[in-house]
Amino acid sequence: MKIGFNLTSKSNALWVRILRAKYGWKDQFPDSINRSQCSHLWRALSKIWPLLRENIAWSIGDGTSARCWKDPCILGMGPLISKIPPSANLDLDCCVKEMVNSDGSWNLDLFRAWVSEDIINRIISIPPPHPDSGSDRIIWSQSTFGVFSVRSTYWYLKENSWNSQEVYWKIVWKYPGPQRVRVFICLTFKQKLITNSERARRGISHCSSCLFVVMILKTWYVLRDCPSAQDVWRLDYGLMWSCLFGLVAWRIWKNRNLFIFQHISWSASEVVKVSSCWNRHYTYHVGDHFNNKQGSYLMVNSDENWVFLFTDG
């Protein structure tokens, strides 16, 4: 979407001129994009072009670039050519600056001959073109100031399907842990972890079952119901699990991958100890709004095989 917007708004950029020349793009807002013998990028642009085209418009400056009838100049309305009869005797390629009177006001009499009064009222709300207003520029209709952003585009695409009651997404991204753990939790919620069953579905593995028991792998089984995962969750070191939950879940997933690909297996106590060390290191350097006195800095009693090294490196 961003590349498509820049393709229309940055006509002087070298890469834009090259693409337009390569694919014979002459109009500022073509109705469609030719997909024959094109690159993957151009094919992707052709798919989203109708959506992009209906959300871009001209912001009128001097009125020399925007065409009055063929280009979208009124937000949310599209080109005015769709509002006039097909038999209208008009110069459809005329610029917006040609639609003003000698005193600089809109030529409303000409507009009234072809469009409805509702459209006239929309035109009146737009300042007429003036030489001192700068050049016409292309704007993104889904943002307040007309500037394209991935954020505004995302909210526009998701406005019909987004459920504001799904507060668990906020819980995920406010988790007090490393960013990689937040991303991991998000992927878990979306059922996007590459488990054995998913690897088998993609044809990169012949086994779709758990390596510990004969059962088809699903995301929640891997992190919660697998015997190796249950051994971890049943341990009780008196730690603050609200802080450690994400770290332990990530380490369980890491441990499974180590076992599958490198034949290295960690015990349940090792998983918890390493996660606890990671938690202390993170909270020391980043800070934590949880009550640290409740045990987040609690040292796990280790046996002779463990050495704790505190460092600021």
Alpha helices in the chain (DSSP H): 2-9, 14-22, 40-53, 108-112, 117-124, 150-158, 168-173, 179-189, 196-201, 219-220, 227-233, 241-262, 268-286
Residues 170-193 have pLDDT tens digits of: 788 888 888 899 888 888 888 888
Which of 51, 53, 48, 64 minimizes the C-alpha distance to 30?
Answer: 53
Task: Work out the mean pLDDT of the chain and round it to a whole number.
Answer: 81
* Region 51-70 average pLDDT: 90
In tens, the pLDDT along 196-225 reads 777 777 777 666 565 544 444 567 777 888
pLDDT at 297: 42
pLDDT attached to residue 284: 78
d(CA 301, CA 38): 64
pLDDT of residue 186: 87
Give the span between the Cα atoms of 228 and 207, in whole angstroms.
18
90 confidence band (pLDDT: 50, 70, 90): confident
For 280-313, the pLDDT digits (tens) are: 888 777 764 444 444 444 445 555 666 666 665 4
- Residues 116 and 71: their CA atoms lie apart, in Å, by 18
> Which pLDDT does position 210 carry in this prediction?
58
Are 150 and 2 in contact, with CB atoms under 8 Å apart? Answer: yes
* Of 49, 61, 30, the residue nearest 139 (C-alpha): 61
Amino acid at 154: Y
